[in-house]
């Protein structure tokens, strides 16, 4: 090579380097100027009483205080996050009491609806969360019904007529229904977010004039209440879940799905005001009797179910592009920064959500031109592996063993060792009194982070499995903290409320509990201790540890003393190097290898389940019809042909 050619190459390299540096500097300046729109009001808006007004009118009140709408309308007008929650009963008021409403307030509601940003492709910007599963149906429901009320009105913000908004919202709703039918709920078994789904669905059922929307909304509601019925214990609804907060994980009297389980198969007392109250007054949705019968079944049953999709399945199922339908699935799963999805996410952010959205703003660190041009974003997030990857709600193969005295449940083999967020992988319901669960906290107890935190979600998922009344879980906490990881705690812990049990016993690495006729035990690798005098926060030190949970009862074990004695005789072996766990109980041998097989009596257990596999329903994903049966009662669902038949 001649010296002149070498000089030219050096010049080209230098020019290229200067270009990269200059581009990066320009990008840094640009990105640093991104503003954030607050997702909540800077100054508190007085508590909204729209739910109270709807409740009073539905119960025949002739005198309501319409000023209770002031805060609601101010909040929605500001397009703050969860405005769609407040739209549920605001829309309902227009349909149920539009003729009774003072003209001033009706005009205010109309002004808010006409100028609202209904979806991420409408003009404008805000920090509302449009994308999670419950928000998707809430926005679609409200937009469709607003359009139906005012079909010929041009909505100034979008420039579209009400009819055009109806068409947009209907397509999103139909796409949403198809996903739920084929794959189940992404936010599976969520005592937090099923009520939001219910609020959007019941409005479509009661007020939509489109038969397809009404029937598919009814079917989607049936599928929610099938989940609730099979997972509830004496009206307490708590199970392995795609999204759960601390209050839900703990179980107890508040875990009654906004009072709906008590109303439909408990004491029959109607629930109070709220976005689900429309179900109580609805004339167009009646809960199929088979679902209430299933909920009251006190026999011993095993319920297996598949909920949602894994990221690796999106391409095969046709949800891998940047079209609206695909992004509803991807962001419904809350896949934002995962390598397979990150370029799609950035496309949507740049073309509708915008970095000004407070939820999305942190992703601005990937908004560099060089990364975009060279398509390097997937490689970058793969290298840095941000904790946000754990936000993705992937497929839950759930297993529940339910008796009259307890239920114990696990999301089987749920992405062991990876980051978690609001998922709830394992727990046990002590009848309908309260629940217990173990976790690897993402941060220390006093650190203020929304999620994952000390009580919500996981730092790193365990490898958790279950067969009947026995659950095994192995935690393998990394030695080094990830580049963008909050904390990396060297212990795991359990919620085990000693003050709520009748009796508790701690013997080294065993902790036993008795409540009424229900017994339970946690067995660990290392000795347990309570964090403080509250005695509800059970700590097990160590990075490589196991948790064995076994449920028992007076009916199965006789006295509590017999249960304790039997458990302490059970054989346990754990290899901390290979992370292999062996446990024997009542003649059954259990073996779990971290990231490997789960065996019972030397037989490998398949933990990939069909859509439904229980005594009440058998169905594969994407089946054309589903039949739910129990005690001579039947519910038949045919999604494509709009058939819903029950006795």
- List pLDDT tens digits, range 94-128: 999 999 999 999 999 999 999 999 999 999 999 99
Count other Cβ atoms within 10 Å, centred on residue 276.
23
pTM over 0.85? The answer is yes
Answer yes or no: do 267 and 353 share one domain. no
In the predicted model, what is the mean pLDDT of residues 365-382? 96
In the predicted model, what is the mean pLDDT of residues 48-54? 86
- Asked if residue 255 belongs to a domain, the reply is yes
Q: Hunting for tokens 């669960």 — which residue is that?
A: 437
* Secondary structure (3-state) at 191: coil
Interatomic CA distance for residues 415 and 465, integer angstroms? 12
Structure tokens at 583: 């446990």
Domain boundary among 297, 329, 363: 297
Answer yes or no: do 366 and 415 share one domain. no
- From the list 424, 410, 466, 502, the residue with the least C-alpha distance to 590 is 466
In the predicted model, what is the mean pLDDT of residues 9-31? 90
Interatomic CA distance for residues 163 and 151, integer angstroms? 5
Domain boundary among 263, 297, 331: 297
pLDDT tens profile 267-303: 999 989 999 999 999 999 999 999 999 999 999 999 9
Answer yes or no: do 555 and 508 share one domain. yes
Is the confidence at residue 352, as pLDDT, over 70? yes
Is the confidence at residue 181, as pLDDT, over 80? yes
Q: How far is CA 125 from CA 39, 78, 79, 109, 355, in A?
A: 11, 11, 9, 20, 10
Answer yes or no: do 274 and 332 share one domain. no
Q: How far is CA 483 from CA 384, 418, 488, in A?
A: 6, 14, 11
- Asked if residue 257 belongs to a domain, the reply is yes
Enter the DSSP assignment of 349.
I
Look at phi and psi of residue 416 and say left if phi exceeds 0, alpha if psi is from -120 to 50, else beta. beta
pLDDT tens profile 419-433: 999 999 999 999 999
Domain boundary among 390, 419, 442: 390
In the predicted model, what is the mean pLDDT of residues 452-465? 97
**Whether the Cβ atoms of residue 342 and residue 381 lie closer than 8 Å to each other:** yes
Answer yes or no: do 405 and 493 share one domain. yes
**Whether the Cβ atoms of residue 628 and residue 616 lie closer than 8 Å to each other:** yes
Q: For 3-17, 346-360, 462-476, 495-509, which range has the lowest pLDDT when averaged over its residues?
A: 3-17
Structure tokens at 180: 């739920």
In the predicted model, what is the mean pLDDT of residues 6-10? 74
Query: What does the pLDDT read at residue 636?
Result: 98
Query: What does the pLDDT read at residue 49?
Result: 80
Report the DSSP beta bridge partners of residue 428: 408, 436
CA dihedral 501, 502, 505, 506 (to 10 degrees): 20
Is the confidence at residue 28, as pLDDT, over 80? yes
Answer yes or no: do 213 and 332 share one domain. no
Pairing assessment for the beta strands 232-233 and 236-237 based on DSSP bridges: antiparallel
Q: Does the CA dihedral 611-85-127-247 come out positive or negative?
A: negative
- Asked if residue 57 belongs to a domain, the reply is no
**Whether the Cβ atoms of residue 331 and residue 120 lie closer than 8 Å to each other:** no
Between helix 69-77 and helix 50-58 the angle, nearest 10°, is: 130
Interatomic CA distance for residues 132 and 415, integer angstroms? 21
Query: What does the pLDDT read at residue 14?
Result: 86
Answer yes or no: do 349 and 240 share one domain. no
Query: What does the pLDDT read at residue 483?
Result: 85
In the predicted model, what is the mean pLDDT of residues 369-388? 95
In the predicted model, what is the mean pLDDT of residues 363-368? 96
Answer yes or no: do 506 and 407 share one domain. yes
- Asked if residue 222 belongs to a domain, the reply is yes
Query: What does the pLDDT read at residue 1?
Result: 58
Domain count for the chain: 3
Q: What is the CA radius of gyration of the chain?
A: 26
Interatomic CA distance for residues 307 and 399, integer angstroms? 11
- Asked if residue 498 belongs to a domain, the reply is yes
Answer yes or no: do 362 and 509 share one domain. no
pLDDT tens profile 577-590: 999 999 999 999 99
Is the confidence at residue 210, as pLDDT, over 90? yes
In the predicted model, what is the mean pLDDT of residues 217-225? 98
Is the confidence at residue 6, as pLDDT, over 80? no
- Asked if residue 94 belongs to a domain, the reply is no
Answer yes or no: do 324 and 291 share one domain. no
Query: What does the pLDDT read at residue 511?
Result: 98
Pairing assessment for the beta strands 232-233 and 434-439 based on DSSP bridges: unpaired
- pLDDT bin (cut points 50, 70, 90) of residue 8 is confident
- pLDDT bin (cut points 50, 70, 90) of residue 534 is confident
Q: How far is CA 519 from CA 240, 354, 551, in A?
A: 20, 52, 6
The boundaries of the domain holding residue 475 are: 399-609
Percentage of the chain beyond pLDDT 90 is 93
- Asked if residue 597 belongs to a domain, the reply is yes
* Secondary structure (3-state) at 557: helix
Query: What does the pLDDT read at residue 46?
Result: 79
Query: What does the pLDDT read at residue 247?
Result: 93
Answer yes or no: do 225 and 248 share one domain. yes
pLDDT tens profile 430-453: 999 999 999 999 999 989 999 999
Enter the DSSP assignment of 271.
P
At residue 77, φ and ψ (nearest 5 deg) are -60, -35
Answer yes or no: do 567 and 458 share one domain. yes
Enter the DSSP assignment of 602.
T
- Asked if residue 622 belongs to a domain, the reply is no
- From the list 327, 375, 376, 373, the residue with the least C-alpha distance to 353 is 327
Structure tokens at 249: 């994980």
pLDDT tens profile 136-161: 999 999 999 999 999 999 999 999 99
């Amino acid at each position: 090579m001649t010296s002149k050619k070498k000089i030219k190459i050096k010049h080209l390299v230098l020019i290229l380097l200067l270009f990269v540096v200059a581009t990066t500097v320009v990008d840094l300046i640009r990105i640093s100027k991104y503003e954030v729109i607050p997702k909540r009001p800077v100054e508190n808006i007085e508590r909204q009483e729209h739910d109270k007004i709807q409740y009073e009118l539905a119960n025949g009140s002739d005198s309501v205080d319409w000023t209770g709408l002031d805060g609601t309308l101010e909040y929605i007008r500001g397009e703050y996050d969860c405005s769609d929650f407040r739209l549920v009963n605001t829309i309902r008021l227009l349909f149920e009491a539009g003729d009774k409403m003072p003209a001033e307030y009706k005009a205010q509601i109309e002004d808010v609806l006409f100028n609202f940003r209904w979806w991420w492709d409408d003009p404008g910007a805000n920090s509302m969360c449009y994308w999670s599963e419950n928000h998707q149906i809430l926005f679609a429901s409200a937009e469709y019904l607003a359009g139906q009320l005012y079909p010929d009105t041009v909505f100034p913000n979008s420039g579209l007529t009400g009819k055009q908004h109806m068409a947009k919202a209907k397509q999103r709703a139909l796409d949403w229904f198809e996903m739920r039918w084929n794959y189940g709920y992404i936010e599976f078994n969520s005592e937090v977010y099923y009520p939001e789904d219910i609020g959007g669905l019941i409005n479509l059922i009661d007020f939509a004039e489109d038969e397809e929307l009404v029937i598919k909304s009814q079917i989607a509601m049936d599928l929610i209440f099938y989940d609730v019925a099979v997972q509830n214990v004496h009206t307490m609804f708590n199970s392995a879940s795609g999204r759960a907060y601390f209050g839900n994980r703990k179980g107890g009297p508040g875990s009654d799905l906004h009072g709906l389980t008590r109303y439909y198969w408990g004491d029959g007392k109607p629930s109070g005001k709220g976005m689900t109250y429309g179900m109580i007054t609805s004339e167009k949705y009646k809960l199929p009797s088979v679902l209430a019968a299933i909920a009251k079944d006190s026999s011993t049953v095993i319920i297996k179910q598949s909920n949602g999709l894994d990221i690796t399945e999106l391409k095969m199922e046709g949800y891998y592009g940047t079209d609206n339908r695909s992004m509803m699935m991807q962001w419904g799963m809350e896949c934002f920064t995962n390598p397979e999805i990150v370029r799609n996410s950035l496309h949507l952010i740049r073309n509708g959500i915008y970095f000004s959205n407070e939820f999305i703003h942190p992703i601005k660190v990937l908004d560099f031109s060089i990364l975009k041009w060279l398509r390097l974003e997937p490689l970058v997030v793969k290298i840095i592996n941000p904790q946000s990857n754990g936000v993705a709600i992937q497929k839950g193969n759930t297993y529940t063993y339910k008796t009259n005295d307890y239920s114990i449940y696990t999301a089987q083999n749920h992405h062991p060792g990876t980051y978690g967020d609001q998922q709830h992988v394992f727990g046990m319901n002590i009848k309908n009194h309260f629940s217990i669960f173990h976790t690897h906290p993402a941060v220390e107890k006093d650190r203020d982070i929304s999620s994952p935190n000390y009580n919500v979600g996981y730092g790193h998922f365990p490898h958790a499995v279950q067969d009947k009344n026995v659950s095994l879980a192995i935690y393998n906490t990394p030695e080094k903290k990830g580049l963008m990881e909050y904390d990396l705690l060297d212990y795991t812990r359990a919620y085990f409320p000693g003050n709520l049990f009748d009796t508790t016993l701690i013997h080294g690495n065993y902790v036993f509990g008795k409540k009424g006729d229900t017994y339970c035990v946690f067995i660990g690798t290392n000795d347990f201790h309570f964090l403080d005098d509250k005695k509800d926060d059970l700590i097990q030190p160590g990075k490589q540890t196991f948790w064995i949970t076994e449920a028992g009862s007076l009916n199965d074990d006789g006295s509590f003393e017999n249960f304790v004695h039997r458990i302490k005789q059970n054989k346990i072996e754990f290899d901390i190097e290979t992370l292999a766990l062996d446990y024997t109980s009542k003649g059954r041998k259990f073996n779990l290898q971290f990231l490997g097989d789960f065996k019972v009596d030397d037989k490998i257990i398949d933990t990939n389940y069909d859509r439904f596999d229980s005594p009440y329903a058998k169905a594969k994903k994407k089946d054309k019809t589903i039949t739910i049966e129990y005690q001579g009662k039947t519910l038949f669902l045919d999604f494509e042909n709009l058939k819903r038949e029950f006795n």
